[in-house]
A and B are shown apart, each in its own frame.
Chain A
Amino acid sequence: NAGVTQTPKFQVLKTGQSMTLQCAQDMNHEYMSWYRQDPGMGLRLIHYSVGAGITDQGEVPNGYNVSRSTTEDFPLRLLSAAPSQTSVYFCASRLGPGGSYEQYFGPGTRLTVT
Chain B
Amino acid sequence: GDSVTQMEGPVTLSEEAFLTINCTYTATGYPSLFWYVQYPGEGLQLLLKATKADDKGSNKGFEATYRKETTSFHLEKGSVQVSDSAVYFCALSERGGGADGLTFGKGTHLIIQP
Q: Do A and B come from one complex?
A: no
Residues on B facing A (Cβ under 8 Å)? none
Residues on A facing B (Cβ under 8 Å)? none
